[in-house]
Amino acid sequence: MCHQDNMNQDWLGLIKQIQLEGTPRSVQFHPASIKEVGGEGWGYINNRGQFALAPVYTFALPFQANGLAIVAVGNKNALIDEAGHFVVPPIYDNINPFSEGLSAVHDDSGYKIINEEGTVLTTKPYEFIGSFHNGRALFLNKEMKYGYLDRQGMEVIAAQYEQAGDFNAGKAVVQVHAGLYALIDLNGSVFRQYQHYFVGMPGEGMLAFQEKMLGKYGYITEQGRVVIPLTYSGAEPFENGTAVVNIAEDYRNQWGLINKTGTFIIQPYYNEIRRLGEDKLAVGRALDKHKPYLGSKFALYDLSGRKLSDFVYDNILPFTGGLASVSTTSETFFINSSGQQAPGWPILHATGTLTIEGGLIRADTDKRVYYYDHQGNLIWKQNKRIVLNHVYSVQEEKFKPNKDYLVYYPQVEGFLNREMQRSVNNQLKKLANLKEVNESQQLDYDYFGDFSIPFFQKRLLVLKLSSYLFHFGAAHGMPSEIYPHVDLNSGQLYVLKDLFRQGSRYVEVLSGIIERQIQTNSDYSYVWPEQYKGIKADQPFYVTGDALYLYFLPYEIAPFAAGFPTFTIPFGQIMNLIDTRGAFWQSFHS
């Protein structure tokens, strides 16, 4: 069993993809969550901020243009309609956003294509299926060859390519074998072949190419004629008569914008350049030119090379209807196509993004979701107080000393002994890693911490403190999980040994149980058996009403992708070890 936060990067990417596709005007429901014992519950609110679909899902994505929404139930994905009825029950590991009326889904057997009724169209599973473009979707078979499916789920172009790209204007570039690329039509017929080390995606009749590994890039026409010589260290496809290119010879970036003759419209001085649509660009100047991975400050430019704003933004989203969401170190708001703050729209004193979804504005700021009306009035926000019973509750507090350091941490309320309450809450602050960081300091990492309440029974409160530390430029970050077990009567924070009788040899017994699970349970096939050396006396753990859970850190006994390998041990297996008269057991059992 692997633990993963529901609001992970995969979900965030899907949200952005759905937002770019557009929200149907007829749908006025918006995903929103409440914090409660057991975790977050997601549902959908209406434009008045009232739940129209109850918060019963593990996670929920925005409704798509076809009136369907992807939700999670437990660790499985499902599709619902506007009435909350399952169009597809929770049977898939992943459901991708619809494109051209179809979606790629994934289960234990592989990838398949479904239509908007949930009917599977493909006759067999695949290793990968992409989105549909021009009625074609890229697929990868078990022999690791690429081909294309049509909208009936049939292999209209057989798997035969080493690499392949999406279709655009009826054409796609494929790699036949090393050193040979081809431009094909929707039926796989070859327009032209190219004998180059690399050929990129087509754009307005031109393609980037390389002659050798790590060599410079230039551009050829679709007929294969070199029109811009091998000049650049990076080259993106042409769009609207322009292409973004890099001339840097080392790790430092020098991105610029050229026209079809290779003349620079924007000189190659910049850390990054992003297309925003509607003939606009986000041009980023490095925060530290010697450390380009730290990111950029962005200015708004148009395709003529005209600078429309200063370099003041931490982020600029693509334009939609003449508006783009921007954020600074302390604010988030809309700008118009002139690069000016758009009048009449809300200004939020937090960092993140704004998107217009039907009658509301969704704000994803400081890792939380809020909804506002078009006049800037707050319509809905997640609860910050979680009621445990008629006496105790947990209050969410926010700690943000720096734009790249953000922690939401719990504070327990309801203790009659205020000194005990202060002591417990100070311990929770320490465990939440509330590190003092200078507000103006440019960190070389991003740190985010959050919490949930997986279990509460009788007088035992189990909290989950999670965090993610990401060093800019790294392949991935490092997650952390801690489970404080708080006795609300005594204020004690229990550790693993408190559950067991003195002299019970619990370390040896629990280590043996886990070893047998690794050897006999296929769910733990990802574990490196040679790395498992048993548990420690203070092994990370948490409890529920009927079981003890012991977990390991990433890389400790399994690959990073396995997350936190977790082993379930029902109390019935170890009752002879448990101190049933001890304070820990008595805190949640009679």
pLDDT of the chain along its 590 residues, tens only? Answer: 333 343 444 555 555 555 555 554 455 899 999 999 999 999 999 999 999 999 999 999 999 999 999 999 999 999 999 999 999 999 999 999 999 999 999 999 999 999 999 999 999 999 999 999 999 999 999 999 999 999 999 999 999 999 999 999 999 999 999 999 999 999 999 999 999 999 999 999 999 999 999 999 999 999 999 999 999 999 999 999 999 999 999 989 999 999 999 999 999 999 999 999 999 999 999 999 999 999 999 999 999 999 999 999 999 999 999 999 999 999 999 999 999 999 999 999 999 999 998 889 999 999 999 999 998 999 999 999 999 999 999 999 999 999 999 999 999 999 999 999 999 999 999 999 999 999 999 999 999 999 999 999 999 999 999 999 999 989 899 999 999 999 999 999 999 999 999 999 999 999 999 999 999 999 999 999 999 999 999 999 999 999 999 999 999 999 999 999 999 999 999 999 999 999 999 999 98
What are the residue ranges of CATH 3.30.565.40 in the chain?
Answer: 384-489
Residue 121 gets the label, from left (phi > 0), alpha (psi -120 to 50) or beta, of: alpha
Please give the CATH number for the structural domain made up of 495-590.
3.90.640.20
How many CB atoms sit inside 10 A of residue 98's CB? 22
The CATH architecture assigned to 384-489 reads 2-Layer Sandwich (3.30)
Residues counted in the chain: 590
Contacting residues for 448 by C-beta, under 8 A, at least 6 apart: 367, 406, 407, 467, 468
Run of H or E including 18: helix 9-21
How many CB atoms sit inside 10 A of residue 467's CB? 18
Check: CB of residue 313 under 8 Å from CB of residue 357: no
**169, 130, 134, 136: which is closest to 154 by C-alpha?**
136
Tokens of 54: 């109850």
- What is the amino acid identity at position 173? V
C-alpha distances in Å from residue 250, one per residue of 229, 290, 573: 20, 11, 59
CA 340 vs. chain centroid, Å, equals 30
Distance, CA of 30 to CA of 24 (rounded, Å): 11
Q: pTM higher than 0.75, yes or no?
A: yes
Distance, CA of 542 to CA of 539 (rounded, Å): 10
C-alpha distances in Å from residue 553, one per residue of 258, 475, 480, 550: 48, 18, 8, 10
Alpha-helix runs per DSSP H in 411-505 = 418-431
**47, 41, 39, 75: which is closest to 60 by C-alpha?**
41
Residue listed under structure tokens 């926010």: 398
Run of H or E including 44: strand 39-45
The backbone torsions φ and ψ at residue 272, rounded to the nearest 5 degrees and listed phi first, read -165, 155
Check: CB of residue 184 under 8 Å from CB of residue 191: yes
Degrees to nearest 5, angle at CA 203 with 242 and 153 = 145
Structure letter (DSSP) for residue 96: P
What are the residue ranges of CATH 3.90.640.20 in the chain?
Answer: 495-590
Torsion of CA 123, 126, 130, 132, to 10 degrees: -10
